[in-house]
Amino acid sequence: MRTALVLAWCSLLACGGAKQSPAEAQSDAKTDVDKTTAPTLASAVIPTDEVLWALGPELRERTLAVSNLADDVRYSQVAGKWPERVVRLGLNPEEVIALRPDVVFVASFSTPEYRAALEGRVKVVELQAFDGFAGYFENLDRIGDAADARAGTDALKAEFETRRAAIAAKAPSEPPTCLAWSEGYVPGKGTTFFDVAQTAGCVPIAADKGIEGHQPLDLEQILAWDPEVLVVGCNGDCDEAEAALASRPGLSALRSVREGKVAVIPDAAIGSVGAGMLDFAEALQAQL
């Protein structure tokens, strides 16, 4: 499911592969510059847009720019929150270079060309883990270290774990099987959905059947598995999305669709690789 949303991010952010670029190598190196003040920051990707906002007023004041998707309600958990004074970055790396931030945050799906253009001109920190709760914690550590805000990111981790435990404590005693589906793709082990499903209290059947990552799955196999709960995303009218699914050839034969056991989740929660993963878990649990 998250595959479709990542592809959407990529189409808007000119994403590339996850191979190491010169800028990535630079981001992993320690700087020799002594900072007398806390570093100024720029975020070129949604995950950092969200974390920098969550870290509170002091970090927000040090943030010079956020991504051009920060205000897009389809993908961002902080849409409409960043003030107008904060620049929205486009695809041209010269935009962020002109701002002269101390740190620029990119991601493994940012294009090598974008990262290479920043090489030697600004410190680049790359977020690399987008495969579940552990990946989110890893990215928090990278952000906290680079932004001189490790106490804040450690606090975010503690808050996340407390909330995760509270959701898990409400899981059904007899967990149903569940399958997330997005235009022929399903998530298995090593995905955000795997962690979300286990927290919410359902058995992610694709992972249980040995699927790794996000993989295409034919309709015949989905019908053979016949999950008790089907999980799909919606952008806007979720009732309309469920109705459209019920009339779709093939999927309408699933017992989850016939019995109204379709969990329709807003795309911004489904696509989250940060704290919004727990919004996804809560919304899914409420529909089990």
- pLDDT for the residue 6: 44
In-domain check, residue 170: no
Q: Are 28 and 133 in contact (CB under 8 A)?
A: no
pLDDT score of 23 more than 80: no
Place of tokens 């696509």: 271
In-domain check, residue 155: yes
Please state, in angstroms and rounded to a whole number, the distance separating the CA atoms of residues 180 and 172: 18
* Helix 46-54 / helix 133-146 crossing angle, nearest 10 deg: 70
- Asked whether residue 184 falls in the same domain as residue 246, the answer is yes
Please state, in angstroms and rounded to a whole number, the distance separating the CA atoms of residues 36 and 202: 50
Q: Is 231 helix (H, G, I), strand (E, B) or coil?
A: strand
Paired tokens of 63: 């943030």
Last residue of a domain, one of 114, 136, 163: 163
Higher-pLDDT residue of 147, 260: 147
Q: Give the DSSP H or E segment for 75.
A: none
Percent of the chain past pLDDT 70, that is, above it, reads 88
**What is the full DSSP assignment across 138-170?**
HHHHHHHHHTT-HHHHHHHHHHHHHHHHHHHTT
- Asked whether residue 7 falls in the same domain as residue 79, the answer is yes
- Mention every residue, 6+ apart, whose C-beta is less than 8 A from residue 218: 184
- Asked whether residue 123 falls in the same domain as residue 47, the answer is yes
Assign residue 38 a region (left: φ > 0; alpha: ψ between -120 and 50; beta: otherwise): beta
**What is the full DSSP assignment across 72-102?**
-TTT-TTTTTS-TTSEEE-S-HHHHHHH--S
Q: Are 25 and 57 in contact (CB under 8 A)?
A: no
- Asked whether residue 142 falls in the same domain as residue 120, the answer is yes
- Asked whether residue 59 falls in the same domain as residue 186, the answer is no
- Number of independent structural domains in the chain: 2
In-domain check, residue 168: no
- Asked whether residue 141 falls in the same domain as residue 194, the answer is no
In-domain check, residue 169: no
- Asked whether residue 99 falls in the same domain as residue 219, the answer is no
- Asked whether residue 260 falls in the same domain as residue 201, the answer is yes
In-domain check, residue 48: yes
pLDDT score of 171 more than 60: yes
CATH number at residue 118: 3.40.50.1980
Q: Are 230 and 261 in contact (CB under 8 A)?
A: yes
Please state, in angstroms and rounded to a whole number, the distance separating the CA atoms of residues 193 and 213: 10
Phi, psi (degrees; rounded to nearest 5) at 177? -75, 145
- pLDDT for the residue 32: 36
Q: Are 37 and 91 in contact (CB under 8 A)?
A: no
- Binned at pLDDT 50, 70 and 90, residue 231 comes out as very high
- Asked whether residue 25 falls in the same domain as residue 108, the answer is yes
The parent domain of residue 10 ranges over 2-163
Last residue of a domain, one of 103, 138, 163: 163
Please tell me the pTM assigned to this model.
0.85
- Asked whether residue 116 falls in the same domain as residue 184, the answer is no
- Asked whether residue 16 falls in the same domain as residue 159, the answer is yes
CA angle, residues 210, 214, 219, in degrees to nearest 5: 75
Q: Where are the beta strands (DSSP E) in the chain?
A: 41-43, 63-67, 87-89, 103-107, 123-127, 177-180, 185-187, 203-204, 214-216, 229-234, 262-266
Higher-pLDDT residue of 181, 16: 181
Q: What is the mean pLDDT of residues 57-78?
A: 96
- Asked whether residue 127 falls in the same domain as residue 197, the answer is no
The CA–CA distances, whole Å, from 96 to 68, 91, 168 equal: 12, 10, 41
Question: What does the DSSP 8-state code read for residue 226?
Answer: -
In-domain check, residue 121: yes
Percent of the chain past pLDDT 90, that is, above it, reads 76
